Structure 1
Amino acid sequence: MKIAMISNNSIPVPPSEYGGTQREIYYLTEELVRSGHEVILFAKKGSIAKATATYVYPYDDKRKQLEFIMRHIPKDVDIIHDHCGLVAKSNPPIPTIRSYHGARKAIHVQIPVYVSKTILQKYGENEGYYLHNGIRLTDYRFRQKKKNYLLYIGRIEPMKGVHLAIEVAKKTGLKLLIAGPYDHNKVQKKYFNEVISPQLNKQIRYIGSVGGEEKQVLLSKARCVLFPSVWDEPFGIVMIEALACGTPVLGFQDGGAVPEVLHGLPQLICRNTKDMVTKVLNPSAFPSAHQCRQYVEYHYSERVMVDKALSLYRKILKGNHYKIYPDSEWNNLAAKRGWL
């Protein structure tokens, strides 16, 4: 099968630090190629995923990016997997699916694909499909023996519940390391300066955004990772990254897809911060490091993700779910440019 994989022009594939969507594109691309398929990747300059062919955007303008894709996409592509919406909304004459990595309803696309069943049901109203994220286990350092600190890793913003991680740390008396970026917009800056920063001390430390080796060390050595999201988390890739390192992760039952992702490890799902504190103080109830990693291998490895992606591609192609519109934006632009 020949697949066109569409990323955006903001973060390379894979990202050096933060960028969950681009990391998923990376794993999907390389595992598809390893499985004998051809992947044509359109992405930001600096992308090093081992695709069959990679085209880097020479423009920031989205209309020009679309034209760039139209000029370079092979005519014999079987399906387009669009992760940013650039192509899907133009309705090309090639079956196209649009992956949504956030918690919102798909608009102006024929075949939306969400990253969890939870988001498909709540926001997609069961129109479309879902495809769980996956990771490459060999990219994550496994460690059985842990150190006595808690770890929060993710964006620093209210809906991620960083303040709740701090509350848990204070009530348990354990050291908490907070790692992740925060944008300097008004809301996030105010949250960091007024809510997080005043609580930082020797016990509770903010260490900035991390990636690569530093992230591996932090994840693999933590007593547990706290994932106290208080919004409709679309998936929560940090959870499976922690588990792949053999590190348990605690999240809330009302945290969007958290209970879906952790369905096989129910002892890690918390009702509230009080419950989270109780679980942190009772690590003997955690699954073992080997059980954590095995859980990811069985449910969220890149192999599992790609097998499900291929099943979805074949279903779309076989079922004639995608409609071709002669007067689509793609076809009209192609006619205007003389590319038909």
Structure 2
Amino acid sequence: MGLTVLSVPFPFAPVGPDVVGGAEQVCAAIDAALVRAGHRSLVVAREGSQVAGTLLPVPAIDGGSDDAARTAVHAAMHTAVRAVIARALEQHPVDVVHLHGIDFHAYLPPPGVPVLVTLHLPLDWYPAEALRPTRPDTWLHPVSRSQARTAPPGARLLPPIENGVAVDRLVIRVPKRRFAVALGRICPEKGFHHALDAARLADFQLLLAGRTHPYPAHERYFRTEIQPRLDPRRRFLGPVGFGRKRWMLGTARCLLAPSLVPETSSLVAMEALAAGTPVVAFPSGALADIVDPGVTGFLVRDAQEMADAIADCDRLDPEACRAQARTRHAADTMLDRYLTLYDQIAHPHAMQAGVA
């Protein structure tokens, strides 16, 4: 008998085929997998989102340049999300609610339906009490072993479900060109100014692609740290769709990932490997587990080491990158684990193992 799963991503970001955020990509992949498997997928997401199942839209609520205004916007959004979730639970026989947002604790439904929470961000970004839920039938899990190792005392977590990417869609065999790429949200913690510095030190072309969300800190970072470093050989492309991203990853000499915070999981690094492109990264969180130094990329400490590693990527075998992606980062493995866990959560007698 098919399941009905109600997914709730972070409500301020849309879900769709070309989204930038890792959490939104995972949510979209799960939504599509549920539909393919014959289950019912309901997605509570920002209006304008594109889903395979049924979209239950939340009005877009933006604005607020100071703390008081942002607090009011978040409160209004949480009220709207709670209302949509409540209506969905009244109108549909939901078996599992799956929450993805960092603010999940603000719209947990009342006790009754089982809830799964995927923790996509560093665990110390969540309120401590959110990691020790008192609501019955509420299950939390990390997205990588690296993230799981940072769990604070008392956190009630299931074993991690490692993120994955659509490896087969990303395979591309084209000649490498003399440029590097960097992709992701344009924000301070991604450290893309270091990638630009490294490309300049290496006298190498860099294509930087991604979205700058309308948050004051993100816009200030782009204005003060990214724009001054751009020139004819270091270019910012803005958001790119899947086809262009695939071409960029496949033809690039390497992907630069200078994250300044512990990455819980780096989907773009996995995508680069699937496209046969090595990754040069700071050893931040899960990146240290994804990159096999000297085989699928290099781990470096600063912009100068990153610049030196760009040239060294010439000697790495694209097939070794693709092989790692197939064996360790395939989305099918991730999706199978989610569908199995949904079935276990929806049928409590199957949850014999308890929490980790």
> What TM-score range do you get, normalising by the shorter chain?
0.7 to 0.9
Give the aligned partner of residue 258 of structure 2.
228
Greater relative contact order (CA < 8 Å, ≥ 6 in sequence): 1
Give the aligned partner of residue 319 of structure 1.
351
Give the aligned partner of residue 72 of structure 1.
91
Counterpart residue identity of residue 193, structure 1: R
CA contact (8 A) 2:288 2:299 kept: no
* 1:277-336: CA deviation from partner (whole Å, max 9, x where unpaired): 2321112442x222222222212212110232244445554226889xxxxxxxxxxxxx
Q: Secondary structure at the match of 1:282?
A: helix
Q: Secondary structure at the match of 2:123?
A: coil
CA contact (8 A) 1:88 1:98 kept: no
Counterpart residue identity of residue 96, structure 1: V
CA shift in 2, pair 1:3/1:290, >3 Å: farther
* 1:94-147: CA deviation from partner (whole Å, max 9, x where unpaired): 322111211135506432112122222214556303212122224325124211
Counterpart residue identity of residue 100, structure 2: H
* 1:182-235: CA deviation from partner (whole Å, max 9, x where unpaired): 234332233222222122111211122222322222222111110010111121
* 1:7-38: CA deviation from partner (whole Å, max 9, x where unpaired): 2444444243423322212222333443x451
Give the aligned partner of residue 205 of structure 1.
235
Equivalent of residue 252 in structure 1, options 259, 274, 282 = 282
Superposed, which structure 2 residues align to 1:1-340 within 5 Å?
A: 2-8=3-9, 9-34=11-36, 36-44=37-45, 45-51=47-53, 54-57=54-57, 61-74=80-93, 77=95, 79-84=96-101, 85=104, 89-105=108-124, 107=130, 109=133, 110-125=138-153, 127-129=156-158, 130-253=160-283, 255-262=284-291, 268-273=297-302, 274-286=304-316, 288-313=317-342, 316=345, 317=348, 318-319=350-351
TM-score, normalising length: structure 1: 0.81
CA shift in 2, pair 1:72/1:291, >3 Å: farther
Q: Secondary structure at the match of 2:40?
A: strand
Q: Secondary structure at the match of 1:242?
A: helix
Structure 2 residues not aligned, in runs of 5+: 60-76
Counterpart residue identity of residue 195, structure 1: E
Give the aligned partner of residue 336 of structure 1.
none
TM-score, normalising length: structure 2: 0.78
Counterpart residue identity of residue 163, structure 1: H
Q: Secondary structure at the match of 1:177?
A: strand
Identify the range of structure 1 (58-67 vs 130-139) with the bigger mean alpha-carbon deviation. 58-67
Q: Equivalents in 2 of 1:3, 1:117: separation in Å?
A: 29
Q: Equivalents in 1 of 2:311, 2:150: separation in Å?
A: 34
Q: Equivalents in 2 of 1:246, 1:266: separation in Å?
A: 12
* 1:58-89: CA deviation from partner (whole Å, max 9, x where unpaired): 656123112122123316x2x33222327972
CA shift in 2, pair 1:161/1:308, >3 Å: same
Identify the range of structure 1 (187-196 vs 257-266) with the bigger mean alpha-carbon deviation. 257-266
* 1:237-289: CA deviation from partner (whole Å, max 9, x where unpaired): 11111111111111112x12111233597652413134322321112442x22
CA shift in 2, pair 1:41/1:269, >3 Å: farther
Q: Equivalents in 2 of 1:92, 1:240: separation in Å?
A: 37
Residue 153 (structure 1) shift:
0.8
Counterpart residue identity of residue 199, structure 1: R
Q: Equivalents in 2 of 1:40, 1:86: separation in Å?
A: 22
Residue 164 (structure 1) shift:
0.9
CA shift in 2, pair 1:297/1:72, >3 Å: farther
CA shift in 2, pair 1:186/1:58, >3 Å: closer
CA contact (8 A) 2:280 2:299 kept: yes
CA contact (8 A) 2:81 2:107 kept: no
CA contact (8 A) 2:167 2:274 kept: yes
RMSD value, Cα: 2.8
CA shift in 2, pair 1:40/1:311, >3 Å: closer
CA contact (8 A) 1:14 1:25 kept: no
Give the total of aligned pairs: 316
Q: Secondary structure at the match of 1:63?
A: helix
Counterpart residue identity of residue 121, structure 1: R
Q: Equivalents in 1 of 2:229, 2:113: separation in Å?
A: 53
CA contact (8 A) 1:149 1:174 kept: yes
CA contact (8 A) 1:28 1:302 kept: no
